[in-house]
């Protein structure tokens, strides 16, 4: 596999095989500041690239996750098993020190972001484009086990307007959604809430017309492997909430 596709599949593979219904995401606020990987989370590394530095730190009276990338790429992942219903939301807080200046949502050379939040979905191969089905088949042979077929990736972009949706430059089954953009609010904590059911149906309207498939995991991180820049992001607790 090419490195780019391998990177996308490495993330997807982190969520294979979640068996029982579970929508709880381990909260950073319940942990103590420390270096390294928080309990309940798993590091997803990209072959041949330096991983970001992770640490639980105190910030404004709460424990949060700090992720620093300097010519690095990777994510922290947590596996889930949840069937979303109408208006199921993912809520989180995040902060960055600066955007990736030379990032570009539309190109492979610019596929770097100061902060990313992924949600992964169990889309069967039969719903994927033929070329992607072939790649996923190879990926399963290489990595073993099942691999979920689709992901939403919420990003803090450098220039595109919030609400912009775009097919990922490397993997057509990853759809990018710009939530924040630019440096105007860098350095400030921002609270986000996304309707993942609506976002999935909108982003994957070309592939999927049935109810939104099962959520198999979430991941957070940042990356500067393409641009070799230096950025830091902070993440507060993430919560999946069903409509009442």
Those residues whose C-beta lies under 8 Å from the C-beta of residue 92, and which sit 6 or more positions away, are: 117, 191, 192, 235, 236, 237, 238, 239
Contacts of 168 (CB under 8 A, 6+ apart): 8, 111, 153, 174, 175, 176
**What pLDDT is stored for residue 154 in this prediction?**
98
Tell me the CATH number at 43: 2.60.120.260
Q: Which domain holds residue 91?
A: 3-241
Q: Calculate Rg over the CA atoms of the chain.
A: 17
- Residue 4, pLDDT score: 44
User: In this structure, are residues 76 and 219 in contact, taking their beta carbons and an 8 Å threshold?
Assistant: yes
Whether 4 contacts 164, CB under 8 Å: no
The pLDDT of residue 182: 98
**What total number of domains does the chain contain?**
1
List phi, psi (to 5°) of 149.
Answer: -100, -5
Q: What is the pLDDT along the chain (244 residues), one digit of tens a residue?
A: 344 444 555 555 555 544 456 789 999 999 999 999 999 999 988 777 899 999 999 999 999 999 999 999 989 999 998 988 888 999 999 999 999 999 999 999 999 999 999 999 987 666 565 666 555 554 554 444 455 578 999 999 999 999 999 998 887 888 999 999 999 999 999 999 999 999 999 999 988 888 899 999 999 999 999 999 999 999 999 999 887 6
Q: Taking Cα atoms as reference points, which of 142, 177, 128 lies closest to residue 157?
A: 177
């Amino acid at each position: 596999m090419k490195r780019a596709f391998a990177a996308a599949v490495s993330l997807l593979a982190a969520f294979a095989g979640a068996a029982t219904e579970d929508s709880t995401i381990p909260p950073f606020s319940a942990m103590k500041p420390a270096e390294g990987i928080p309990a309940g989370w798993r590091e997803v590394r990209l072959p041949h690239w330096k991983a970001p530095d992770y640490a639980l730190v105190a910030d404004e009276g709460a424990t949060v996750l700090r992720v620093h990338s300097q010519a690095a790429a990777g994510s922290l992942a947590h596996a889930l098993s949840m069937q979303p219903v109408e208006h199921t939301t993912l809520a989180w807080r995040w902060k960055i020190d600066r955007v990736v200046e030379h990032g570009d949502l539309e190109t492979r050379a610019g596929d770097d972001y100061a902060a990313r939040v992924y949600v992964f979905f169990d889309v069967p191969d039969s719903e994927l484009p033929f070329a992607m089905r072939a790649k996923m088949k190879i990926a399963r042979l290489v990595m073993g086990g099942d691999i979920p077929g689709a992901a939403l990736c919420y990003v803090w972009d450098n220039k595109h307007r919030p609400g912009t949706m775009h097919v990922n430059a490397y993997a057509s089954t990853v759809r990018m959604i710009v939530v924040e953009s630019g440096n105007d609010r860098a350095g400030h904590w921002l609270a986000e809430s996304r309707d993942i059911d609506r976002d999935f149906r909108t982003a994957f309207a070309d592939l999927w017309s049935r109810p939104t498939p099962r959520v198999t995991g979430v991941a957070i991180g940042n990356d500067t492997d393409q641009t070799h820049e230096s950025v830091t992001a902070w993440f507060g607790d993430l919560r999946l909430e069903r409509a009442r």
